[in-house]
Amino acid sequence: MFQFNKNYFAFTILLFVVEVLIALYVHDSFFRPYFGDFLVVIFLYCLLKSFVKISVWRAAIIVLLFSFFVEFTQYLNLISLLGLQKSGLAKAVLGTSFSWEDLVCYTAGILFVIIIEKSILKNPS
């Protein structure tokens, strides 16, 4: 089940760098919030596929459910419930505010992954 995949890992590193650059240098009201959320699920998908031999569909569903779970913890204000309001790391990882638009961006990112995997890369798994 565990298997290192250097191609997915390379994409993981690239997407991580892009996400960090967006977080540090992009301060607009469209690209950072929406494209960043679109990319984060692709990052998580590539991270999972870097270390686990798993089908496209299973990986996509796991990442999407995880992303939705994190978003709903924002709706529940989990950061405050855990007393982590002052933790920059907790706020960066878990986020601070719920948004329906984020769920749409996550879904679009996963659909993009599935389209690329199934159509362009013709990944049978």
pTM attached to this predicted model? 0.90
- Is position 125 within any domain? no
DSSP label of 105: H
Helices (H), 82-123: 88-94, 100-115
Q: What domain range includes position 90?
A: 6-120
Residues 6 or more apart whose Cβ sits within 8 Å of residue 85: 79, 91
The answer to whether 47 and 12 have CB atoms below 8 angstroms apart is yes
pLDDT over 90 (residue 11):
yes
Place of tokens 């990319």: 39
- Is position 101 within any domain? yes
Q: Strand pairing partners for 2?
A: 52
Between CA 119 and CA 94 the distance in angstroms is 32
Kindly state the average pLDDT of the residues 94-114.
94
- Is position 1 within any domain? no
What is the number of domains present in the chain? 1
For 26-63, the pLDDT digits (tens) are: 999 888 889 999 999 999 999 999 999 999 999 999 99
Residues 6 or more apart whose Cβ sits within 8 Å of residue 73: 94
Closest CA to 102 of 58, 67, 78, 76: 67
DSSP label of 82: T
- Is position 109 within any domain? yes
- Is position 107 within any domain? yes
- pLDDT for res 125: 58
23 or 113, greater pLDDT: 113
